[in-house]
Amino acid sequence: MLLQRIFAATLLLACAGLALMAWPYQAAFSYEPVGPRAYPLLMLGLMSLALIYMLFRPQPAQHKDDEPPLDRATLIKIGLCVALLLVFAGTFEPLGFILSSILIGIPMARLYGGRWLPSVVIITLMSVGLYLLFDKAMDVPLPLGLLDVLEN
């Protein structure tokens, strides 16, 4: 219980620091009516409310039998997920959204038990579909990277 409260207090301090850093941010241009700082402040505010509850709740969180144990295999999966997300962040600009999503999505699907053919087909369709949704429908520009030759 004490470790949970220490974790909540530490993360609450981190949220406060991030909110102080995000508050004065002003973009030179904005395509949103509320501006670019609203989303991080909203997320930090909601996270802070949950952490305050976690800090002052009367009893510790109890683990149920149906929850997966935090054993070596689970920790390896978590580590691989973090590594894949770091690779995604690093390849997002040079490869573009579609290729980096496919590159990361297929190993992520396989990591959680997906079969090869459905993983490849679904991840490819989702990557292209999400690109079209964001870039064309919502007018949020995403990089094409190596597929830039397909534009126009």
Between CA 51 and CA 47 the distance in angstroms is 6
Give the pLDDT score at 27: 67
For the residues 2-11, what does the mean pLDDT come to? Answer: 85
pTM above 0.95, yes or no: no
The domain spans of the chain are: 2-56, 72-150
Matching residue, tokens 């990277």: 145
Rounded CA separation 78/74 (Å): 6
Q: What are phi and psi of 117, to 5 degrees?
A: -65, -50
Do residues 127 and 105 make contact, with C-beta atoms less than 8 angstroms apart? yes
Residue-wise pLDDT tens digits, 37-75: 677 888 889 999 998 988 888 776 666 666 666 788 888
Give yes or no for residue 86 having a pLDDT over 90.
Answer: yes
- The per-residue pLDDT for range 25-37, each reduced to its tens digit, is 776 665 655 566 6
Collect contacts of 88-94 with beta carbons under 8 A, ≥24 apart. Answer: 92/143, 93/143, 93/145, 94/145, 94/146
Residue 92 has pLDDT above 90, yes or no: no
d(CA 88, CA 83): 9
